[in-house]
Amino acid sequence: MTYRYRIASIFLLGFFIDCINIFMSAIALPAIADDMQISIVSVTWVSNSYILGLTLIIPLSHWLSQRFGIKALMVTSMLMFSLSVALVGYSHSFIELIFWRFIQGVSGGLLIPIGQALTFQYFQGHERSKISTLIMAIALIAPAISPTLGGFIVDVVSWRWVFYSNIPFSLITAFLAFIWVKEPLPKENAIPDIKGIILISLIIVSGLFALSAYGEYHSILLALVIAVLSTIFAVLYYYHYRRHSSPVINLALLKNRNLSLSIFIYYCIPGVFTGVNILAIFYLQQYLKFTGQGTGIFMLLYALGAFISMIISGALYNKLGMKRLFIIALLLHSIGISLLTFVNSNTDIPLLIIAYLIIGVGGGIGANTAQTTALYDFSAKKLVQASVIWNINRQVVFSVGATMVAMLFNIFSLFCLPQTAYSMTFLICALIGILPLTLLLTLKKKVITQEIQDEF
């Protein structure tokens, strides 16, 4: 195996672990909610705290790699991850669990952006579409096996072992990073934008709390107050960005149409599906009385559809172009979600199979196309900055999707019977999923690229 594929393999393992933490832990959420006597909105913070930890550390990862070296950072990241995930499983209170999930996110977030930037550094130009397909295809092993395995673990042992099962993978990744990574210590050692990182974290946290406050306590006033705070933090960050020579998030990069469009679509496909998937898990387990393992099998179908579609879309990316692939992805993904509104009993298994397969096909095309398109125009320093934006976005969409869908369900539950509330939430999510079509249908046929000038 050549050196660049060794680097890609380490990144893939880190990405694999990240996917396990999203999909396998999602299967365990009903069991955690029952064990700790918390609501659907509250239990989403099992995912949110992990993602917030990732978000906080991702902007610091580049500076830490310059300060201590890429090899040391990757090894330390996975060792910290192993310890924190063990403590997550050992937690006996919800606050304790949330705290260690946050630390787990911090440790996991050290590897992913550096691994991706380093991998893309060794795969340039047209090779990026191939490596993106390889990354997404191999990473699909996680959502393919983790929900079914996680459901089996929850049914047979307990939700705690869902987290303990991560430890072997993180230890293997730490070992491979130790023996394979040979990157020199960079001479550059820029000071990180601590103020910017704090403001970005406050924007995300306050935004999620605004959604949670409305969904959990049904308080419009409280949600508006917190939303206003989030807006104030956003304005403060904008002024900070204008004055800082090296801001944590270079907003000028968002002028690149490929990056900004990919971010929007990621909210409407993986983001929406994360919330839909969590809601469907509660619907199938608590309302239709499926087992945890039985629920996980449907994610296997999703992963199968996504795996096949990613391979095909990766091969057709340069031929069909991102516009056509995005349109196909959005339509299929929303059609699949809309089919969930017709699932009324545990005998509707054929409909569930079709729905998850279609969602998987649409989601696979959309995720792979967005991953390829987002960073397509960048190289060198701009690639690192764009990678930070993309990885923060990739994590935040999961939290926003989960919290938003839980909020919608709680609101509908105030006025409707549970089954109607589930159906209406799925239908609204299907409509949200096609919002980017309004932008895609106005794009010209020519390739959309925009150079980012050095003065930005």
User: Considering the entire predicted model, what is its pTM?
Assistant: 0.78
CATH fold of the domain at 3-192+248-440 = Growth Hormone; Chain: A; (1.20.1250)
Under 8 Å CB-to-CB from 450, ≥6 apart: which residues?
A: 255, 256, 257, 258, 377
Better pLDDT: 321 or 448? 321
Of the segments 38-47, 49-58, 345-354, which one has the largest average pLDDT value? Answer: 345-354
pLDDT digits (tens, 9 = 90+) for 187-236: 666 677 888 888 988 898 888 888 777 766 667 888 889 999 999 999 99
pLDDT digits (tens, 9 = 90+) for 100-136: 999 998 988 888 778 887 888 888 766 766 677 677 6
Q: Calculate mean pLDDT across residues 18-26.
A: 79
C-alpha separations of 32 from 92, 176, 339, 342, 415 in Å:
11, 33, 28, 28, 26
Q: Is the pLDDT of residue 5 over 80?
A: yes
Better pLDDT: 405 or 61? 405
Lowest mean pLDDT among 172-186, 350-364, 423-437: 172-186
pLDDT digits (tens, 9 = 90+) for 327-338: 999 999 999 999
Written as one string, the DSSP assignment of 16-48 is HHHHHHHHHHHHHHHHHHHHHT--HHHHTHHHH
Task: Please state, rounded to an integer, the average pLDDT across all residues of the chain.
Answer: 85
Closest to 46 measured CA to CA, from 63, 65, 30: 30
Q: What is the pLDDT of residue 322?
A: 86
Helices 112-122 and 127-139 cross at an angle (nearest 10°) of 140
Q: Is the pLDDT of residue 186 over 80?
A: no
pLDDT digits (tens, 9 = 90+) for 293-317: 888 888 888 888 888 887 788 778 8
Q: Calculate mean pLDDT across residues 159-176.
A: 93
Given a contact cutoff of 8 angstroms between Cβ atoms, the answer to whether 136 and 310 are in contact is yes
Q: Is the pLDDT of residue 428 over 80?
A: yes
pLDDT band at residue 449, thresholds of 50, 70 and 90?
very low
pLDDT band at residue 455, thresholds of 50, 70 and 90?
very low
Domain boundaries, the chain: 3-192+248-440, 193-247
> To 10 degrees, the CA torsion angle through 273, 162, 371, 270?
10
pLDDT digits (tens, 9 = 90+) for 339-392: 999 999 888 999 999 999 999 999 989 988 888 888 888 876 788 788 778 877
Q: What is the pLDDT of residue 435?
A: 93
Q: Is the pLDDT of residue 452 over 60?
A: no
In angstroms, the CA 443 to CA 60 distance is 35
Given a contact cutoff of 8 angstroms between Cβ atoms, the answer to whether 158 and 31 are in contact is yes
Q: Is the pLDDT of residue 137 over 80?
A: no
pLDDT digits (tens, 9 = 90+) for 253-265: 998 889 999 999 9
Q: What is the pLDDT of residue 448?
A: 42
- Other beta carbons within 10 Å of 156: 10
Q: What is the pLDDT of residue 45?
A: 86
Given a contact cutoff of 8 angstroms between Cβ atoms, the answer to whether 66 and 188 are in contact is yes
Q: Calculate mean pLDDT across residues 385-406.
A: 83
- Indicate the residue type of 454: D
- Indicate the residue type of 397: V
Q: What is the pLDDT of residue 451?
A: 42
What ranges in 109-193 are assigned the alpha helix state H?
112-122, 127-139, 141-156, 160-164, 167-180
- Indicate the residue type of 143: P
Q: What is the pLDDT of residue 110?
A: 82
